[in-house]
Structure 1
Amino acid sequence: MSTSHFDIVIIGAGPAGLSFARSLAHSALRIAIVDPANMEQLRTPAPDGREIALTHPSKQLLQQLGAWQAIPEGQIFYLRSAKVVDGDSPFELHFKTPTASKNLSDDTLGYLVSNHHIRQALFEKTEPQANLTWFAEQKVQTVNADSSQATVCLSSGETIQAKLVVAADSRFSQTRQQMGIPVDMHDFGRTVITCRIEHSGTNENTAFECFHYGRTLAILPLTEHLSSAVITIDSQRTSEVLDLSDDALAADLEQRLNGRLGTIKVASSRYRYPLVGTHARRFYSTRFALIGDAAVGMHPVTAHGYNLGLYGQNTLSELIQKAETMGRDIGSGELLQQYDRRHQLKTRPIYHGTNFVVKLFTNEAPPAKLLRGAVLRVSNALSPVKSLISRQLTG
């Protein structure tokens, strides 16, 4: 079978892989992108129930890639504020749009966009890219590398050689394992179930996260009377949600929300995802780098997942473009170590901090309940803490 030669091979045409490919659109680098889906599936991805929270810096990066402008009209939703509640506690931790953000184009904490719309917009911009070759309907069989080049063998029998391989093939990346990169993995033993709901009351563009005992319920505002309900429950108890009729689920949500959204109607299919957090101990090997969920797979409670993915691919892209301009090796160990240092510094505190929050707010032991109640009361009273968290969203 034939052997093709490129500068970079990207494994995975999800949001992270597409973002990275698009960020190199104006370079002279020859890029290959490999994905098991066919071109039509990549061009028109199906809804998957995931609403992605985007920060202001992420919006700016997507604008630079041209993808923000390609998101369908009316499919960008605004997150004006957020509230966190612990069980039946009367205390709410309330995050409002910081005053400083009034200088921004939108007076909002952040944005909500469906995952499939992000993928569609990125593909629309990436598909005609002159320096990009597509290897659709292909699976990676093996990846290996030495000091001079990396080699990717595909399920078709074809071989691709490149200066650098970039893996964006999910938090369960097989290529990461093949390249000997260890990973910290935390199985939360829980499952996320999502669906859209219509409601007679207004959501006031406010995200609502309630840590009910036994399960967590998040409401993500879309339009005024349309939201995404995100239910997190012990994986052994998913039937308590999945086996309910639409009417029974709507009634359950009304009760758990104490009527704050009025009458509720289930407005979509339900989607389920196991909750497993991952963080690679390093983001590189010989002529090999990790981006997106292959580098860091976050618990969704703090909404950092794709934002970190965008940040990481942008960091790697900038280093590669600088090296190319200076005539240096884009797959050198020095460059990849620099990427690793920067992205580890950004992601590791957030990853472990998020896992700590999740453990605290899902622990049913009485001391934990007392502690998180105190955390909510103290945090709500300390405006600098709330401001710090809000500003991380707005950038």
Structure 2
Amino acid sequence: MRQGVFSLWCSQPPGGPAHNVALDPAAKPAYVQPMEKNADIIVAGGGLGGSLAALALAHQGFTVCLVDAAPPAQKTLPDFDGRTTALAYASTRLFRRLGLWHALAPEAGPIRDILVTDGRPADRFRKGHQASGFLHFDSTELAENTPLGWIVENRRLRQVMHDALEASDAIRVIAPAMIGAVETGPAAVTVPLDTGETLTASLLVAADGRRSPLRERAGIRTLGWSYPQTGIVCTVAHEKDHLGIAQEFFLPSGPFAILPMTGRRSSLVWTEKADRAGSFLALGDEDFTAEIAKRFGPYLGALSLDGPRWSYPLAFHLATKFYGERMALVGDAAHGIHPIAGQGYNLGVKDIAALCDVLAEHRGAGLDIGHGSALAQYDRWRQFDSASLAFGTDVLNRLFSNDNPALRLARSTGIGLVNRIDPLRNFFMKQAGADLGTLPSLMQP
């Protein structure tokens, strides 16, 4: 079943940017009496995806109502979200164009190199052992002379977006508020809130998370499954400088990533078997740090925890289409992938940038931005890229998260081969930078 769906999606070429697709004047709906609207677009969900969507759409000249269930002040508290986000270098172009990067840059840890290795912890750090296969991405090989990406604390991302939302005259934030039963019509979408207010706009953008209530109510199906793995996340302080090197170790239980933050700190993303993760999380700080050290090895010196630990079950989901009637899905509402490549949030950034291009093109042509022709075009553009990366990360996780001797040999050989072939290595390096395919205008160099 997975193979059939994958083949079907991959046989359909991506739609590309709106200006590459001829707009059909006949697709414009018949004239209807204009409705008084609160905004051009309503964005549901004020997380990292929804907030960025509101800011990007406002940057394109749309007026936006952003509705979120959580109070804004709660999301900026230091202990609200202790995780980090990997921003690929192509994604940061959007942040720069929105005027957000200057506030983020001082607290963003640049990734100057990525080193990928495969094996067991005991083998990798045994005296005299040399990895038979490794993959090295070097940012100096990029034409833009930029780091491959940056590691940013989620609390900082939230704060910068919160400040930008408050400063925008084009965005109205309504929170805390819950959305009721959505009604769609020939000219608008009507969104009732539990506050008693009713909003009307041309389009509703669902950025309401993996379990998106709006997606479910619209009857949009998803393909998905759970992994027998848990993600463990924390910040680790260390004695030595990481030099901007991101390490990804493929261990039998899953990938173990050490991501460079500012200062002598790294973000740890530890994929562990679900039936073992609880025992590690239950350890005291000293014993937990000792387990980390077994996997880190000695290259960063003495380690200590720098904050609380977080954990979450790992799962895969992909919406069968990214739109409904007068509604577009972005970010986690559209897809959720394994963190093995650190591309989950960057996929959502591309969704937002692509949606901005499609809507701006339709508005410029005098067409209804909430009409099905616009939303189908957005869907064609994003489905191929999202399905390709989603299934690709799924295959990688299944291939590397085991201790099968034959597969280990094949993996080491494959990693070494990619490292020695420049065009192939550069392809994967650009994939890590979210810089492949037809890029939306906000993400272009």
Same-fold call, TM cutoff 0.5: yes
Q: Deviations over 1:25-60 (max 9, x none)?
A: 255543211101113124556452322111222111
Given that 2:72 and 2:162 are in contact with CA atoms closer than 8 Å, whether structure 1 keeps it comes out as: no
CA distance in 1, matches of 2:59, 2:420: 49
What is the match of residue 322 of structure 2? 283
CA RMSD of aligned residues (A): 2.2
Structure 1 residues 323, 42: CA separation in 2 closer, same or farther (over 3 Å shift)? Answer: farther
Q: Are positions 1:230 and 2:269 aligned together?
A: yes
Q: Deviations over 1:81-102 (max 9, x none)?
A: 1112222362342323244436
Q: Which runs of 5+ in 2 are unaligned?
A: 1-35, 125-130, 436-445
What is the match of residue 129 of structure 1? 168
CA distance in 2, matches of 1:32, 1:321: 17
Correspondences of 1:200-279 after superposition (within 5 Å) = 200-223=239-262, 225-279=264-318
Aligned equivalent of 2:136, options 95, 100, 118: 95
Q: Deviations over 1:306-346 (max 9, x none)?
A: 11111111111122122223321010111001100111122
CA distance in 1, matches of 2:345, 2:69: 21
Q: Which protein has the bigger strand share?
A: 1
- Which range is displaced more, 212-221 or 341-350? 212-221
Structure 1 residues 171, 268: CA separation in 2 closer, same or farther (over 3 Å shift)? Answer: same
CA distance in 1, matches of 2:76, 2:253: 39
Q: Are positions 1:82 and 2:121 aligned together?
A: no
What is the match of residue 36 of structure 1? 69
How far did 1:134 drift? 1.9
Q: Deviations over 1:74-119 (max 9, x none)?
A: 3111101111222236234232324443643x3x221111122122
CA distance in 2, matches of 1:26, 1:222: 29
Q: Which runs of 5+ in 1 are unaligned?
A: none
What is the match of residue 175 of structure 1? 214
- Which range is displaced more, 41-50 or 237-246? 41-50
What is the number of equivalent residue pairs in this alignment?
A: 390
Correspondences of 1:377-388 after superposition (within 5 Å) = 377-388=416-427
How far did 1:215 drift? 4.4
How far did 1:10 drift? 0.6
CA distance in 2, matches of 1:284, 1:300: 24
Structure 1 residues 226, 147: CA separation in 2 closer, same or farther (over 3 Å shift)? Answer: same
CA distance in 1, matches of 2:150, 2:85: 8
How far did 1:194 drift? 1.0
Q: Deviations over 1:160-201 (max 9, x none)?
A: 222111000111111101101111112112111111111223
Aligned equivalent of 1:117, options 131, 156, 169: 156
Q: Are positions 1:51 and 2:84 aligned together?
A: yes
Structure 1 residues 328, 45: CA separation in 2 closer, same or farther (over 3 Å shift)? Answer: farther
CA distance in 2, matches of 1:231, 1:10: 33
Instruction: Give the 3-state SS of the residue equivalent to 2:142 in structure 1.
Output: helix
Aligned equivalent of 1:10, options 43, 47, 51: 43
Aligned equivalent of 1:155, options 194, 197, 212: 194
Aligned equivalent of 2:341, options 288, 293, 302: 302
Given that 1:286 and 1:333 are in contact with CA atoms closer than 8 Å, whether structure 2 keeps it comes out as: yes
CA distance in 2, matches of 1:237, 1:221: 26
